[in-house]
Amino acid sequence: MLIKPNEPLAGHTTFKIGGRAALFAEPENLYEVKELIGQAREKSQPFFILGAGSNLLVRDEGFDGIVISTRRLNRISRTDKYVLAESGALVSQILKFGVKYNLAGLEFLAGIPGSLGGVLLMNTGIKERSVSEVVAGIKALDENLEEVELIAAEASFSYRSSNLARFPFIVSASLEAKPVERNDEIKQKINAHISGRNNSQPGGYPSAGSIFKNPIGEAAGRLIESAGCKGWRQGGAVVSDKHANFILNVDNATAADVLGLIAKIREAVYDKFSVNLELEIKII
Ligand SMILES: Cc1cc2nc3c(=O)[nH]c(=O)nc-3n(C[C@H](O)[C@H](O)[C@H](O)COP(=O)(O)OP(=O)(O)OC[C@H]3O[C@@H](n4cnc5c(N)ncnc54)[C@H](O)[C@@H]3O)c2cc1C
């Protein structure tokens, strides 16, 4: 297993921001995950599970504990109707697998840069659709580091939320997929979703996707735009001109720059609409 002390975390996040982890580990199997969590507990050290780091802002001070990356826990297999994937499998890898084995139904996730663990925890999706609609079962480690199996309903999925953070580790999940004769339509849908995203989302600079959740019946981006925040800049961080719910790291932004913008946006939106925007990204 790869273990590195004092590892810069910026390179492990899509925002490319953040300080160092006291210890950074890439376990290769569940046994090693249990060892790491066990050790952290013995030493009363905090630990953090890192997926693809695409919904994350790491503070400039870094993380004084063990960061456990799921990068190497990415095996994917199938039965006739299910794709079974470990939590570190990336959405892109799962979709590639679907194309290879003619398994359809997961294409709406195309272009989302996360891993399955993050996707499940966040109930990631687009507009009214989310991963919860294709999850059949989930395997996790409980507080005693025993493996437990859940059916989807036990994850209490709701908009960009689940109750899976109650488990120290999400191990794997089975996703419903439909066997089809040919994969042309799967490929077409994947391409359509990716080009739709390219048209609506800002590219070119590191980000963590949408910063805030959409309030019920509203789009956070619209509120932020109407409050006049588009283009606001603090240090190297800018509120995107294309999609106001994105903050872009345009020039070596620090976490403090991003947190400063977040506070100003919240204040502006509250002053204009009396709406408290809730964070979608996780801050560590
Ligand atoms: C350009 C861009 C576009 C995006 N578009 C969308 C979008 O359209 N829709 C959307 O919903 N999101 C979107 N996102 C946000 C992000 O991709 C999703 O939230 C994604 O599911 C996060 O997955 P991750 O693996 O990167 O999680 P991380 O950011 O690594 O972690 C997120 C949380 O999940 C936890 N976690 C991860 N794996 C495990 C595990 N195995 N066990 C326990 N906990 C775990 C982490 O501890 C953390 O609390 C976008 C992000 C970017 C950068």
pLDDT of the residue at 24: 98
- Whether residue 170 sits in one domain with residue 240: no
- Whether residue 185 sits in one domain with residue 81: yes
Domain count, the chain: 3
Three-class SS of residue 180? coil
For residue 89, how far is its CA from the centre of ligand 1 (angstroms)?
12
Q: Is the residue at 156 inside a domain?
A: yes
Which CATH number covers residue 251?
A: 3.90.78.10
- Whether residue 117 sits in one domain with residue 184: yes
**Final residue of a structural domain among 166, 199, 232:** 199
Convert the pLDDT of each residue in 209-227 to its tens digit: 999 999 999 999 999 999 9
Q: Is the residue at 36 inside a domain?
A: yes
- Stated as kind and residue range, the H or E segment containing 77 is strand 76-78
Q: What is the DSSP string of 44-90?
A: T--EEEESS-SSEE--TT-EEEEEEE-TT---EEE-SSEEEEETT-B
**Final residue of a structural domain among 29, 53, 69:** 69
pLDDT of the residue at 198: 85
CA distance 102 to 187: 10
What is the extent of the structural domain holding 30? 2-69
Please report the atom of ligand 1 found closest to the CA of residue 167.
Answer: 43
Q: Is the residue at 212 inside a domain?
A: no
107 is catalytic: no
Please report the atom of ligand 1 found closest to the CA of residue 208.
Answer: 53
Residue nearest atom 3 in ligand 1 by C-alpha distance: 209
CB-based contact 171:140 (threshold 8 Å): yes
Residue nearest atom 39 in ligand 1 by C-alpha distance: 117
- Whether residue 86 sits in one domain with residue 59: no
| Percent helix, percent strand, percent coil in the chain, to nearest 5 | 30, 30, 40
* Ligand 1 contact via 114 beta carbon (within 6 Å): yes
- Whether residue 89 sits in one domain with residue 152: yes
210 is catalytic: yes
pLDDT of the residue at 200: 83
pLDDT of the residue at 38: 97
Helix (DSSP H) and strand (DSSP E) numbers for the chain = 6, 18
- Whether residue 63 sits in one domain with residue 114: no
Q: Which residues of the chain have pLDDT under 50?
A: none
Convert the pLDDT of each residue in 112-149 to its tens digit: 999 999 999 999 999 889 999 999 999 999 999 999 99
CA distance 123 to 77: 22
79-82-84 Cα angle (round to 5): 85
- Whether residue 83 sits in one domain with residue 57: no
